[in-house]
A and B are shown apart, each in its own frame.
Chain A
Amino acid sequence: MDVKDTLIQFIQHDLIDDDQPINSDEDLLTTGLIDSVRVMRLVNFVGEAFAIEIPPEDMTIDHFISVDAISDYVASRKS
């Protein structure tokens, strides 16, 4: 599975448990889809699943707004 599929799988099944599919450009943060506790779980998951350390200054909307954004962020940290 690539980064995006891994993220979609996690968000849809472990985080929000919803049958409706998540789009990779869907806004995860501003519409109440996930709450503050789940956001921290998402941040932790991204760190663990892709073996990167995420400092507080990187925990921003730009990096976590959507699956696409997270995937870009992971790529930038891996390169």
Chain B
Amino acid sequence: MTYLLHQNILEQAEKAPDHIAFRCGKEEYAYADLAVKMQQLAAVLQDSGVRRGDRVGIFLHRCLETSLAIYGILQAGAVYVPIDPTLPEERIRYLIQDCGIQCLVSHPSQRRRLAVFGADEGMLRTIIGLEAEWAVPTISWEAVWSAPLAQAPRQLEKDLAYIIYTSGSTGNPKGVMHTHYSGLTYARLTADLYDIRSTDRIGNHAPIFFDISTLGYLTTPLVGATTVISSDAHVMLPTSLAKLIEQERLTIWYSVPLALIQMVQTQLLPSLDWSALRWILYGGEPFALGHLRQLMAELPHVGISNVYGPTETNQCTFYNLPAPPVDDTPVPIGYLWGNTEMLILDEDDQPVSDGEPGELLIRSGTMMKGYWNNPERTKQSFYEHTAVSGMVHTFYRTGDLVLLDENGLLQLLGRKDRQIKARGYRVELDEVEIAILSHPQVREAAVFPKAAADGQSKTIAAAISWKEELPIPELIGFLKQKLPPYAVPEDWTKYPELPRTPTGKIDRKLLQKVALQK
């Protein structure tokens, strides 16, 4: 039994040296290759002054080297911090400084983006993966391939393994800290739940700064499976993405619903051979029911799992759909998975009665250690619960409203902070959104508050894109049958496609800004 993530690579390199660990495009690493290369990268990092617990940034697009960067950094005893190269410069600077990053792992293809980060970046000392002259000393990949193999320093399972920065609806992004223990617990639980084995080929769609990627990067080496990384080109061109699932004989796919919707919309699925596929996992946001029904109708042989969990807890519930949704009832987030406990609390932190809505709090082996460099936010997000035994247990406040229904299934109602008062009535914006999405002709929808003309009260605004265009009054008529009149949006903006954040979620902040400017 290993207790450090990188030991999984070394173990698989002994067991199945030639088995492919990671693949992207036409390039791939067998387990034995990766074991050697990650030890070389670790040696170069250690030589650059990286020590146990230091944070090392990964500045890469979707490519094969992401896997090497992750495991080389872990082998050096350090903590990997994915940085989205498409973020605004200021945001990247903030992240480098907040996290105290002294070293970046990158690639020559990022030279245009990296050009703005010079010697005045404070902490930044070395960039690995670039060639030639730079404001900061660089070490090329060629030089890495001639390095000796590094021994990992002595480490504990409670050492940090990675920090993922979440955008956060207000203020600066927060660095969510995960340990080797939480990463391995996640890997073990997913392997058990979806029966993942060495013969599996997992399609990774998410960039590494999105925690959905931990299935492809952390679970795969635990069981000796293969992860096929979708390149940025595949992600941008759904036709190529759909063909990748066929060509690579993928058995497990995990992404946000949007990627699946786009592939269905190419109308190529009936002509493609996805027979190897046995699981589709989706998470990040609800799946519009019309699309979900269509996907399931085209893939009767594939199990569909709705995955729920904030970055702070990684996955904590699952719901494997027994059949396509028949009516417009939202898909539940389902059941807690192994080694996980929950509380559902009301506004006074008292447990709610059965079937009543409340905030979901989670305690699990996949829970974060806290927010990097932010003890205050960490304290606010944790809740100390005294059990009947007198023991005090720490739970994470998800900020999500749920209820436990009569069948023992958890239903997600929306965000606690997405509750607003519209014309004096309390409205759950997410409920409104779900109601709109239940209309078969709606493709995407987002609902948000907007200041009313009097500047005091709030009204509800909506942004939508159509599957098939429908007059707005008709949609409003549909909504009036489902929602109280004060919860029906008054302000509508139509989009060909809703704008998305880099992690593929709907960009609500941008939509809100556009609605305000109208």
Contacts and interface: CB of A to CB of B under 8 A. Distances in A.
Interface of A: 18, 20, 27, 29-33, 35-36, 39, 56-61, 64-65
Contacts of A36: 235-236, 500
Contacts of A65: 233
A57 B373 CA distance: 48
Contact of B109 (A20, A27, A39, A56): A27
B482 interface: no
A58 B243 CA distance: 12
Nearest to A37: B499
Contacts of A30: 25, 61-63, 109, 231-233
Given A56-B267, A57-B268, A29 B239 contact: no
Interface residues of B, number: 27
Q: Which 4 pairs of residues, A with B, have the shortest CB-CB distance?
A: A29-B233, A31-B109, A32-B61, A39-B236
Interface of B: 25, 61-63, 85-86, 107, 109-110, 112-113, 231-240, 243, 265-268, 500
B231 A20 contact: no
Contacts of A39: 236-237
A58 B235 CA distance: 15
B58 to A, nearest CB: 13
A31 B110 contact: yes
Nearest to B108: A31
B266 A61 contact: no
Contacts of A60: 237, 239-240, 243
B61 to A, nearest CB: 4
B237 A31 contact: no
Contacts of A31: 61, 107, 109-110, 232
Nearest to A32: B61
B506 to A, nearest CB: 14
19 contacts: A18-B112, A27-B109, A30-B63, A30-B233, A31-B61, A31-B107, A31-B109, A31-B232, A32-B110, A33-B109, A36-B236, A39-B236, A56-B266, A56-B268, A59-B237, A60-B237, A61-B234, A61-B237, A65-B233
A14 B109 CA distance: 21
B25 A57 contact: no
B266 to A, nearest CB: 5
B239 A56 contact: yes
Contacts of B25: 30
Nearest to A31: B109
A29 B109 CA distance: 11
From A56, A59, A64, residue with most partner B Cβ within 10 Å = A56
From B231, B233, B235, residue with most partner A Cβ within 10 Å = B233
B233 A61 contact: yes
A29 B112 contact: no
Contacts of B113: 32
B344 to A, nearest CB: 38
